[in-house]
């Protein structure tokens, strides 16, 4: 006697086949998520039989609730006829490739998604669709804006820039928007509990949540491992986003714990501040929020204190601008010595402040100046002060050479380069004794353009040094792309080489590589004669450290140098053109 379908019992082989098929389906779903935010399976009537992905973020409904719903009802009415046509064409055998469909997302927002899909007559006449958030073509995002792989939101640097543009232009476009900062507690711990495939799905889904709730579906960013920013419409329900994240994270967590979500919306109206000042304050505040030790500066404190912090930032910026304008800072000089003779070859020029009026350390000041957009002004002011000093001291019969630091951010600013060349032309004699050290406090993004500027300086007769070589992950890429005369090896490598055989081998290898490239080397942090001997043994050309002298404003207290140029003197116009 036959069995009804409801009472059908599967053999062990059949159960294994079903398990295999489910595993294969899950695998294909995971693969599809490499390029999708939503996956749908539709029957011949256009009703949803299967859904997975960031369904809450885009539709306001979870995947189970969507079963039986008509996909057309989820799409903005302006695109419903377009969707009908695409599905009809798909059933006729035409593949859907990156068609733009607008979803009516929660809180009244509209999100543009890219639709791809195909119809499978052999699988019950079902249609299989994938949706992904349309990558922005907004003028707010430059072509070189960087996205976080897998999550497809902007990285911190790009987001800070795009967010400030969006907030500044909101009134012009007639759109009121806000910035919400989000911190996910125990996010790293959750990821560690997941498989590699599940981690990828978590990353993609979180990115979908953030983008779907952002302005134009594309104004979200990852600020560090567990902190995010979303620029959104004024009426957007960000508490619903927090609930979606918590619900989803708990569902995918094997322990069922999930993550905690702390979100706060920042009031970026700084009152008396201009839009430009507000933007700079916002960038600085975002960076400060991300750089602080976890637990010391929460997202709630950020939102509550933004107005006062922004005002404080602008006040501090204005104070530094005035200090730069007046040249109200001092320069200390530290000798860089030939390792063979131990005589000074040249001196590094270092900024020093009146601590009664400026509490910042030089490093803090340089970082702040880069973040709020005044580093170019400072670098020029520093260069002018050093040129004036060289003009005076060498006019007395000395032969001092000085290295001036230039921020990578200044080097990336065309107006700075033009101003620098004009400044150098004012000092016909003194410029012959100026070297330049390119610092990596701000990362050089366009290495080709940076090298072009470096070659302009070198053709004008100036030695160019790459500072802190080895300190960043991009150091060797820099050396490959930037044709410089000297590299200053980061002091950490010297310290590591003192008691570490591997560190010594690495230091020697660096010196050998530079020698093969025709590049001179300088080692930092030489404080004892034994360290100097080690550096000499490794084949490094020049050294800097307390053994040879601490930074001093009284340069004549150091041994008078007998300079030997790294490179020939300034080329003539005809030579430079060859």
Q: Whose structure tokens read 């050093």?
A: 386
User: Contact, 147 vs 155, CB < 8 A?
Assistant: yes
Asked whether residue 260 falls in the same domain as residue 332, the answer is: no
Q: Is the model's pLDDT at 293 over the cut of 80?
A: no
Asked whether residue 57 falls in the same domain as residue 173, the answer is: no
Asked whether residue 545 falls in the same domain as residue 396, the answer is: yes
User: Contact, 38 vs 53, CB < 8 A?
Assistant: yes
The per-residue pLDDT for 31 is 43
Q: Is residue 32 part of a domain?
A: yes
User: Contact, 249 vs 186, CB < 8 A?
Assistant: no
Dist. CA 548–CA 558, nearest whole Å: 9
The per-residue pLDDT for 2 is 38
- Structurally, the chain folds into a number of domains equal to 3
- DSSP labels, 371-388: HTT-HHHHHHHHHHHHHH
3-state helix, strand, coil in the chain (%, to 5): 50, 20, 30
Three-state DSSP at 435 gives strand
- Please give the model's pTM, rounded to 2 decimal places: 0.59
Q: Which helix (H) or strand (E) holds 56?
A: helix 55-59
Q: Is the model's pLDDT at 398 over the cut of 50?
A: yes
More confident residue, 233 or 481: 481
Tokens of residue 377, six digits: 């002004």
Q: Is the model's pLDDT at 314 over the cut of 60?
A: yes
User: Contact, 176 vs 170, CB < 8 A?
Assistant: yes
CATH number at residue 230: 3.30.70
The per-residue pLDDT for 140 is 62
Within 10 angstroms of residue 167's Cβ, the number of other Cβ atoms is 22
Q: Is residue 169 part of a domain?
A: yes
Return the percentage of the chain with pLDDT > 90, whole number: 30
User: Contact, 350 vs 332, CB < 8 A?
Assistant: yes
Nearest to 117 by CA among 101, 95, 133, 102: 95
Nearest to 318 by CA among 263, 262, 267, 377: 377
Q: What is the pLDDT of residues 407-458, one digit of tens each?
A: 988 887 888 889 999 999 999 999 999 999 998 655 666 788 889 999 999 9
Q: Is the model's pLDDT at 373 over the cut of 90?
A: no
Asked whether residue 59 falls in the same domain as residue 101, the answer is: yes
Three-state DSSP at 300 gives helix
The per-residue pLDDT for 564 is 45
User: Contact, 220 vs 154, CB < 8 A?
Assistant: yes
Asked whether residue 221 falls in the same domain as residue 301, the answer is: yes
Asked whether residue 307 falls in the same domain as residue 367, the answer is: no
Q: Which helix (H) or strand (E) holds 513?
A: helix 501-516
Q: Which of 113-117, 165-169, 226-230, 350-354 has the lowest mean pLDDT?
A: 165-169
The per-residue pLDDT for 4 is 34
Q: Is residue 514 part of a domain?
A: no
Asked whether residue 193 falls in the same domain as residue 298, the answer is: yes
Dist. CA 213–CA 236, nearest whole Å: 7
Dist. CA 494–CA 238, nearest whole Å: 50
Dist. CA 520–CA 338, nearest whole Å: 11
For the chain, the maximum distance between any two Cα atoms, rounded to a whole number of angstroms, is 116
Would you give the end-to-end CA distance of the chain in angstroms? 97
Q: Where does residue 353 fall: left (phi above 0), alpha (psi -120 to 50 degrees), or beta otherwise?
A: beta
- The single-letter DSSP state of residue 571 is P
User: Contact, 330 vs 313, CB < 8 A?
Assistant: no
User: Contact, 333 vs 318, CB < 8 A?
Assistant: no
**Band (171; pLDDT cuts 50, 70, 90):** low
- The single-letter DSSP state of residue 445 is S
Asked whether residue 341 falls in the same domain as residue 275, the answer is: no
Asked whether residue 468 falls in the same domain as residue 410, the answer is: yes
Q: What is the pLDDT of residues 62-111, one digit of tens each?
A: 888 899 999 988 887 767 888 888 898 888 888 888 777 878 766 555 67
CATH number at residue 120: 3.30.450.20
More confident residue, 348 or 398: 348
Asked whether residue 309 falls in the same domain as residue 341, the answer is: no
Asked whether residue 215 falls in the same domain as residue 244, the answer is: yes
Dist. CA 229–CA 249, nearest whole Å: 18
- DSSP labels, 142-168: -TT--B-TTT-SB-HHHHHHHHHHHHH
The per-residue pLDDT for 347 is 95
More confident residue, 240 or 357: 240
Q: Is the model's pLDDT at 281 over the cut of 70?
A: no
Dist. CA 213–CA 2, nearest whole Å: 54
The per-residue pLDDT for 299 is 58
Asked whether residue 182 falls in the same domain as residue 90, the answer is: no
Q: Is the model's pLDDT at 32 over the cut of 60?
A: no
Q: At what angle do helices 275-291 and 362-371 cross, to 10 degrees?
A: 130
Q: Is residue 146 part of a domain?
A: no
541 CB contacts (<8 Å, ≥6 apart)? 338, 339, 520, 521, 522
**Band (29; pLDDT cuts 50, 70, 90):** very low
Tokens of residue 136, six digits: 């922005």
User: Contact, 391 vs 465, CB < 8 A?
Assistant: no
Q: Is residue 515 part of a domain?
A: no
Dist. CA 248–CA 201, nearest whole Å: 11
The per-residue pLDDT for 202 is 87
Its domain, for residue 112, covers 21-133
Q: Is the model's pLDDT at 193 over the cut of 80?
A: yes
525 CB contacts (<8 Å, ≥6 apart)? 491, 494, 495, 531, 544, 545
Tokens of residue 311, six digits: 């005002």
The per-residue pLDDT for 575 is 45
For the chain, what's the residue count? 578
Dist. CA 371–CA 366, nearest whole Å: 9
Dist. CA 469–CA 473, nearest whole Å: 10
- The single-letter DSSP state of residue 572 is P
**Band (279; pLDDT cuts 50, 70, 90):** low
Q: Is residue 143 part of a domain?
A: no
The per-residue pLDDT for 292 is 53
Q: Is the model's pLDDT at 536 over the cut of 60?
A: yes
Q: What is the pLDDT of residues 486-527, one digit of tens each?
A: 999 988 899 999 888 999 999 999 999 999 999 999 999 999
Q: Is residue 568 part of a domain?
A: no
CATH number at residue 341: 3.20.20.450
More confident residue, 71 or 572: 71
Q: Is residue 299 part of a domain?
A: yes
Q: Whose structure tokens read 């973040």?
A: 371
Strand partners, 256: none
């Amino acid at each position: 006697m036959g069995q009804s379908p409801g009472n059908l019992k599967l053999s062990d082989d059949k159960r294994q086949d079903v398990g295999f098929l489910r595993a294969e389906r899950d695998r294909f779903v995971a693969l599809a998520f490499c390029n999708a935010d939503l996956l749908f399976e539709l029957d011949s009537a256009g009703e949803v039989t299967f859904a997975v992905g960031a369904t809450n973020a885009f539709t306001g409904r979870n995947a189970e609730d969507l079963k039986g719903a008509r996909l057309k009802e989820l799409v903005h009415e302006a695109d419903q006829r377009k969707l009908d046509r695409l599905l009809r064409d798909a059933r006729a055998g035409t593949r859907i490739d990156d068609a733009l469909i607008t979803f009516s997302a929660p809180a009244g927002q509209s999100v543009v998604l890219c639709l791809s899909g195909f119809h499978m007559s052999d699988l019950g006449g079902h249609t299989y669709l994938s949706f992904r958030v349309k990558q922005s073509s907004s003028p707010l995002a430059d072509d070189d804006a960087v996205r976080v792989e897998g999550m497809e939101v902007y990285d911190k640097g790009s987001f800070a820039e795009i967010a400030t543009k969006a907030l500044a232009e909101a009134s012009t476009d007639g759109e009121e928007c806000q910035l919400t900062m989000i911190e996910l507690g125990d996010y790293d711990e959750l990821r560690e509990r997941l498989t590699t495939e599940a981690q990828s799905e978590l990353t993609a889904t979180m990115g979908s949540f953030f983008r779907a709730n952002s302005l134009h579906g594309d104004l979200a960013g990852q600020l560090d491992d567990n902190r995010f920013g979303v620029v959104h419409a004024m009426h957007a329900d960000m508490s619903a986003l927090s609930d979606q994240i918590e619900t989803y994270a708990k569902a995918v967590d094997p322990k069922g714990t999930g993550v905690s979500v702390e979100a706060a919306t920042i009031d970026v109206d700084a009152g008396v501040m201009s839009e430009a000042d507000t933007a700079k304050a916002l960038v600085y505040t975002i960076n400060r929020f991300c750089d602080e030790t976890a637990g010391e500066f929460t997202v709630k404190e950020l939102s509550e204190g933004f107005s006062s912090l922004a005002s404080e930032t602008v006040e501090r910026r204005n104070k530094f601008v005035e200090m730069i304008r007046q040249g109200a800072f001092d320069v200390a000089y530290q000798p860089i010595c030939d390792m063979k003779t131990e005589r000074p070859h040249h001196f590094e020029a270092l900024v020093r402040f009146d601590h009664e009026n400026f509490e910042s350390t030089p490093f803090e000041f340089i970082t702040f100046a880069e973040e709020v957009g005044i580093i170019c002004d400072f670098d020029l002011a520093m260069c002018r002060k050093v040129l004036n000093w060289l003009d005076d001291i060498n006019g007395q019969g000395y032969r001092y050479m000085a290295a001036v630091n230039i921020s990578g951010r200044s080097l990336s600013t065309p107006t700075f380069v033009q101003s620098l060349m004009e400044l150098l032309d004012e000092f016909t004699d003194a410029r012959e004794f100026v070297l330049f050290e390119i610092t990596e406090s701000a990362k050089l993004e366009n290495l080709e353009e940076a090298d072009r500027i470096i070659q302009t300086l070198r053709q004008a007769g100036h030695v160019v040094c790459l500072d802190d070589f080895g300190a960043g992950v991009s150091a060797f890429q820099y050396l490959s792309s930037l044709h410089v005369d000297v590299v200053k090896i980061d002091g950490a490598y010297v310290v590591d080489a003192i008691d570490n055989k591997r560190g010594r081998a690495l230091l020697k290898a660096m010196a050998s590589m530079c020698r093969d490239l025709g590049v001179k080397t300088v080692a930092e942090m030489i404080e004892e004669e034994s360290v100097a001997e080690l550096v000499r043994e490794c084949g490094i050309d020049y050294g800097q450290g307390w053994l040879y002298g601490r930074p001093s404003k009284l340069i004549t207290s150091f041994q008078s140098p007998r300079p030997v140029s790294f490179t020939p003197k300034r080329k003539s116009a005809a030579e430079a053109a060859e």
